[in-house]
Chains A and B, each alone.
Chain A
């Protein structure tokens, strides 16, 4: 294929050795460096933050490299098992989970605490990709119903914690797999209709703080000092940035602490304030580059599992980006999703890099078994 044109002999050997994808690596590295600059500004030049950020990045990268070394069949073989373990842990959280900030998300294993819902972000698409690739595509009705059930149970558990943001991300990661597998268009249309009908009913089942978030999203000016404050301040930061921005470390919204959560969920607003629309376009271009490479890997993948999984990882990455930017610019409600590869630290970084590792592993199948290449 045309990709090989760029590859020098030495690079090829190196790539063969570590099964890493140089184009993905390049995109990720560029985003990480860009992100560090923004975090540095948001943290008012405190190098401790940057140190911690890089340590987390380094650890997550190590995980990515390890994940790329594992052959793709390991992922398809283990998918169901990891899914079931994740499900069991979610049930464990419901029964013995630790409550923090009013939500029961954490499982304390004594030596460390973690959110089992995070496992599901990868286990869900993997398990569904495995299920759907067992038979010919498009899948039969029975398979789709089974997949829908596998999707619904963990999502219900996560939503009950309550963690609506993660529940949406898990729904999306699994739904994409079913979509890629070839869910009939009329079913998709029917589902959209059903969602429209069910929305008012679901509204009544939301927690009060979740309802408040949606209401605030619809009209942030109603509650300018309360929960609307975040969105208003974020929009001021973005809007006042203009075309060229106020300059790195010169954003008044960021530096005077008017912007909340400036180094985590609202890091995009820092970028937009200090780097302006130009910076935003650069960021989106970098993201598009990584996503395009992800689609290319999915397109090239050897088998259905590889295609479905690669497509789901890439689309999940996009969905994180879209939800975060949509949230800080007031297009979507605030759901606490970090901006991938830019926001400071967090568990989500680990999941994200693990996803890229799997993506590389899928692509490396061409190198592992070159003879069977098509």
Chain B
């Protein structure tokens, strides 16, 4: 055993000597390589190092502006003054501590220098390029002037004038325009880092986000000769930056303002489309917010307030919130019914106070019932029982297939990100989401736009525009371009379109029409459908009584419509959260918006 051990030792020791020799030889090799680079070719590399005195600095492009269809500026750039840090011009030691000490000194002379600036500097200190200026904070014009006078006392700090985003309309149209926010490390994973080398802000929502690549522009470059300390001697060459593209929206600011004012401090949305081409004329969502709050990064309190507000002002209720369409779905149900052949305009049904199916009672909103009604009257008076029966006869799969071409329960494809798709239910959907079978009773309530059916106000406006155009469909879009936004038409018989459109004008004109009180507000013809979407189910025997519910439980008021009836120029969807009856609260708003637009465009005097 001991002998074995000795044998082992000798075996390994021989190899150790060989390895040590290899180490020696390889080290000598490395030293020779170093001598080759540092002695033999020293002069060549010395020259190359001297030539390495040209620094390439990016020039940020000017972000494109956003204008409304009339040319009013919605997003602009203004000159602001920023306090910058130049690390390679700091006196030694160029440590973070010395800069933080200086910042403490600045606190008395600059109102915006505070601890948040120091924290951000600390976070970025190791990552930043020492030779490029680092933005500390924004300062006022007066502070900038004061700093310039005795800037010699602060080597390494300077004031620079830069372009910064401003939204001159404040809270107006803020959901459509969106806002820009400071670029974060996460953003750099997806952005073209080269082109964003000197850009501080990137579109975060709305048009600012979805058209980021067009708004941003192309970063330019300056070639700067520097001395051995890295200080600029002169500019050698420059590739100018290319400004971003100005975007013209199809939104009309005046109509937008008018719609927002109509909604006032209620939670709701108004979407107005041009049915002839898909232009979004107004996209109001209330409450709104001031996008300027996102630019002034020092204003963190305002930002926190926006995020925490229970009314969710940042939410775009027109495109992101899903609501049951309620009775506004009835014209579409009627169309699908006519097209399926299950009913004709002449088909009459008896509509009592309620509809019974398999022991369940489905009540009509009208306690005494509507009597015998045809489709026209059923839409005019918003008869529930007629559509309960029709929906049950049609089955959920036919409803599903019929609503699909209108884009109900699907994203419209508007040029905004994070659009909600809503829900167009069918048995397969329910199996996937809830793993339960579909019950025919659920089809019955889908017939009046309740149950699982969920839509966004934008979807309703788009579907209404399609209906108004008798099947011609356009993709809604906010940025105005020469593109053709046509989508595949919805094919239905002309007489069926006409029947439903007639019924929708009767909603506004007939003595029993649910929207009759709003028709006088429009100096033209208008067709539409009211809707009242139930938020909570109430007991079978109790009558809906607004006073019994808290505000969040009140019904949503809806209205969809278009005007003029014969040659539609505007299609509108109105939603007011917890607004009660659609005919009372939503319909007048749509009528006023339609009237405003028709008068502004000279269609009615």
Residue of A nearest to B9 (CB): A307
- Given A242-B38, A243-B38, A45 and B92 touching (CB < 8 A)? yes
A237 and B95 contact, CB distance less than 8 A: no
Q: From B27-35, B438-446, B462-470, give the one contacting chain A.
A: B27-35
| The residue from B37, B55, B129, B226 contacting A329, defined by CB atoms under 8 A apart | B37
- Given A304-B12, A307-B9, A243 and B39 touching (CB < 8 A)? yes
B97 and A236 contact, CB distance less than 8 A: no
**Measured between C-beta atoms, what is the minimum distance from A103 to chain B in Å?**
15
A295 and B19 contact, CB distance less than 8 A: yes
Residue of B nearest to A276 (CB): B38
B23 and A291 contact, CB distance less than 8 A: yes
- Given A136-B7, A304-B12, A329-B37, A242 and B31 touching (CB < 8 A)? no
Q: Does A222 contact B (CB under 8 A)?
A: no
B19 and A315 contact, CB distance less than 8 A: yes
| Chain B residues with CB below 8 A from A239, complex form | 37-38, 41-42, 44-46, 48-49
Residue of A nearest to B24 (CB): A288
| The residue from A48, A136, A180, A257 contacting B16, defined by CB atoms under 8 A apart | A180
| Chain B residues with CB below 8 A from A257, complex form | 129-131
| The residue from A136, A138, A277, A311 contacting B19, defined by CB atoms under 8 A apart | A311
Q: Does A92 contact B (CB under 8 A)?
A: no
B12 and A311 contact, CB distance less than 8 A: yes
Residues on B lying within 8 angstroms of A by beta carbon are 4-5, 7-9, 11-13, 15-16, 19-20, 23, 26-27, 30-31, 33-35, 37-39, 41-42, 44-46, 48-50, 52-53, 55, 87-88, 92-97, 125-126, 129-131, 226, 228-230
- Given A284-B27, A304-B12, A49 and B49 touching (CB < 8 A)? no
**Measured between C-beta atoms, what is the minimum distance from B259 to chain A in Å?**
47
| Chain B residues with CB below 8 A from A238, complex form | 34, 37-38, 45
B52 and A46 contact, CB distance less than 8 A: no
B52 and A252 contact, CB distance less than 8 A: yes
B16 and A236 contact, CB distance less than 8 A: no
Q: Does A303 contact B (CB under 8 A)?
A: yes
A137 and B34 contact, CB distance less than 8 A: no
Residue of A nearest to B5 (CB): A303
Most-contacted residue by chain A among B92, B125, B126, B129 (CB, 10 A): B126
| Alpha-carbon gap, A284 to B32, bound state (A) | 12
Q: Which of A174-191 contact B (CB under 8 A)?
A: 176, 179-182
| Chain B residues with CB below 8 A from A48, complex form | 95-96, 125-126
- Given A311-B12, A326-B30, A329-B33, A236 and B49 touching (CB < 8 A)? yes
| Across the A-B interface, the 8 shortest Cβ-Cβ residue pairs | A239-B45, A240-B49, A239-B37, A307-B12, A240-B45, A137-B8, A304-B8, A242-B42
Q: A252-B49, A280-B31, A331-B33 are in contact. List 19 more A-B contacts (CB 8 A).
A: A45-B92, A46-B125, A136-B4, A136-B8, A176-B19, A235-B37, A236-B49, A237-B49, A239-B38, A242-B42, A253-B52, A255-B228, A256-B52, A258-B52, A276-B38, A284-B30, A288-B23, A299-B16, A325-B30
Residue of A nearest to B88 (CB): A44
B55 and A256 contact, CB distance less than 8 A: yes
Q: Does A272 contact B (CB under 8 A)?
A: yes
| Alpha-carbon gap, A308 to B13, bound state (A) | 10
**Measured between C-beta atoms, what is the minimum distance from A110 to chain B in Å?**
21
Q: Does A281 contact B (CB under 8 A)?
A: yes
| Chain A residues with CB below 8 A from B130, complex form | 44, 257
- Given A180-B12, A242-B38, A253 and B49 touching (CB < 8 A)? yes
**Measured between C-beta atoms, what is the minimum distance from A322 to chain B in Å?**
6
**Measured between C-beta atoms, what is the minimum distance from B46 to chain A in Å?**
5
Q: Which of A239-288 contact B (CB under 8 A)?
A: 239-243, 252-253, 255-258, 272, 276-277, 280-281, 284, 287-288
| The residue from B26, B37, B55 contacting A322, defined by CB atoms under 8 A apart | B26
Residue of A nearest to B125 (CB): A48
| Alpha-carbon gap, A308 to B48, bound state (A) | 46
Q: Does A347 contact B (CB under 8 A)?
A: no
Q: Does A318 contact B (CB under 8 A)?
A: yes
**Measured between C-beta atoms, what is the minimum distance from A126 to chain B in Å?**
16
| The residue from B50, B95, B229 contacting A47, defined by CB atoms under 8 A apart | B95
| Chain B residues with CB below 8 A from A256, complex form | 52-53, 55, 131, 226, 228, 230
**Measured between C-beta atoms, what is the minimum distance from A301 to chain B in Å?**
8
Q: Does A298 contact B (CB under 8 A)?
A: yes
| Chain B residues with CB below 8 A from A331, complex form | 30, 33
Q: Which of A29-46 contact B (CB under 8 A)?
A: 44-46
| The residue from B11, B27, B129, B226 contacting A137, defined by CB atoms under 8 A apart | B11
| The residue from A288, A304, A329 contacting B34, defined by CB atoms under 8 A apart | A329
| Alpha-carbon gap, A315 to B21, bound state (A) | 12
| The residue from B27, B44, B45, B93 contacting A288, defined by CB atoms under 8 A apart | B27
| Chain B residues with CB below 8 A from A243, complex form | 38-39, 42
B13 and A299 contact, CB distance less than 8 A: yes
| Chain A residues with CB below 8 A from B34, complex form | 238, 272, 277, 280, 329
| The residue from A179, A235, A253, A276 contacting B15, defined by CB atoms under 8 A apart | A179
- Given A182-B12, A236-B45, A45 and B37 touching (CB < 8 A)? no
- Given A256-B226, A280-B31, A315-B19, A240 and B42 touching (CB < 8 A)? yes
| Chain A residues with CB below 8 A from B19, complex form | 176, 179-180, 295, 311, 315
| Alpha-carbon gap, A329 to B87, bound state (A) | 30
8 A-B residue pairings within 8 Å (CB atoms): A47-B96, A239-B41, A240-B45, A252-B228, A256-B52, A257-B130, A288-B27, A311-B16
